[in-house]
Structure 1
Amino acid sequence: MSKRGWMVRAERGGRLYDLFKDRSLVAIGLGEIGDLSRLPSRDKIAAAVVQSRPDWKAQAVAMSTGQLHRFRSEMKIGDVVVTYDPGRRIYLVGEIAGDYGFDPAVDPEDPHVRPVRWHREISRDLLSAASRNSLGSISALFALGKDVLDDIERALTSERPLPPPAAAESAVVEEDVFQDIQAKALEFIKDRIAALSWSDMQELVAGLLRALGYKTRVSPTGPDQGKDIVASPDGFGFEPPRIVVEVKHRQGAIGAQAIRSFLGGRHPQDKGLYVSTGGFTRDARYEADRASIPLSLMTGDDLVTAIIEQYEKLDLKTQQLVPLKKVYWPA
């Protein structure tokens, strides 16, 4: 296929799939901003989105603005268009047949419409694993790459799935998608932790230590003589091991002098844990390695890993600081 192509989601669960098919159109939402024909530029659309959704973050505004602009101005008559029914695992393939229009009567939630000449439905099983992955984005509207368009054309023509070697490809693609999702999830969790206040960060670390079987005492706000948390089996620090914890919640890396200051107030039987969301310099790590007591340095990445590993053991108060939900993936 030499034409451009687009995926237009039929809303959550394919709610509008039959409407798209029966009415020969595709539609997208954010109808409260009105007819896009009166908004001649991308900036005008963005301003309308901000006015309509003042609570949205800049990224959400930019995403919706881009989709509305593409739907109104970039989609052309003759472009390939695809939508999906997840219940039946079927793609509907056609081409744009007319210009943009605004019609709330089509669907009150999705009044921005483009007429479509639908050609045929194809099963998801006929497409390659790479194409299924590309078409799996949850965005309401996005452009399709040439490889996906070529694969759709092949499926429409042959009405047969790819030969057996695609099974190996499928496994590779699934693993790539899993790794991508996992990496993004870790970054989002780090974003949530980075947004915590210093006192909440202190409570998060204390909660992690409790999940590991220790009782904790958290220092009140103010001078703490180099300790924010004391963890021990008995909660008072009488029964070993006595773990003294310093928590630094900032962007800058901790240097060697801070490590020396922390070590200066420790007892010979103490064990140390220094948590820094800004990381540590090389010299700081050198000081930790040569410390007279066992000292562990925990970065933001280390903290996220520990939180994920111990999440189900965290008490409810600690879980509420960084709420997470489980996602299941094929084994």
Structure 2
Amino acid sequence: MAKMWMIRGEAGRLYDEFRDRGVAAISWSKLAPDAKPGMSKKQLTQLYLEREPHVKLGTAISGAAQVWRFINEIEVGDWIVTYSPANRTYLVGKVTGPYQHKSEWVTDDMPMIRPVQWQQNEVQRDTLSQSSKNTLGATLTVFLVPDLTMEELLLGAEGRTPSIPTNADEVEPELNPLAGLESLAIERIKDLVSELDWSEMQDLVAGLLRAMGYKTQVSPAGPDRGKDIIASPDGFGFENPRIIVEVKHRNGQMGTQQIRSFLGGRHKDDRGLYVSTGGFSKEAYYEAERASVPLTLWTLDNLVRALIEHYEQTDSETKRLVPLKKTYVPA
């Protein structure tokens, strides 16, 4: 029976590269030139320690095990899933060929690859059960996905909404139980924020901007001509910088048309902030870079990281929208 493997591409940075090039890839660039199919985990661990003598033994064992799985255990016909934290989507595909070493892709952090035929439909994280969300939150670069979570993802890739109640098997534990705790917490906070309705999301963005030192005007419900929030030092928009904010809280990426529409109503002295919890297409980022008005695009990932950074400065209304508490762990 085919298995499913999670392959994380540089914390999601290589998500589009995987899809565009028809591969799944891992880096470990110092291991890549000499790692070969058939090598044992012990041999790969020794190679790891030779290449990086200052690394901890536990790190070398964990890294070598993941490289070994990628090279030896993943089979043609198995499924691959990868994740975009920015867009909160999973891409699912089928392995179509054996392991390959691509030395010319080392500068792209993709020297070790498996050819993959990716499915057209992406799977929204919010459509998955909480158990599957927890399972897929593991921070290993390569790990085996439990069967019930695989079924949910395959349903989503077919364009059907997953609705499987699941008590999925636990993912293999990491050697350090605290490893990746921060990234796991960020994903759980994103799950919490994504459950807000549009009005609450607008209030959250406004509250965050106030925590960053601005005064805000929030547009009432109804036609807003691309202005959900106006943020400025004086609260009236008379003093610069005057930041015009558009908030889109829904599934699906924003494209060039939405960016152009937003920019069309801007004054030359305005600054723009476009918040889309569904993310943005690559073309939307290009459009923002070419804009005559300075424009920043925030995904849900950007929003949550900014919220964490400024949470202590947020007012009580904002904290009620997303209640968080600080936890200390060994550095």
- More helix, by proportion: 1
| Structure possessing the higher radius of gyration over alpha carbons | 1
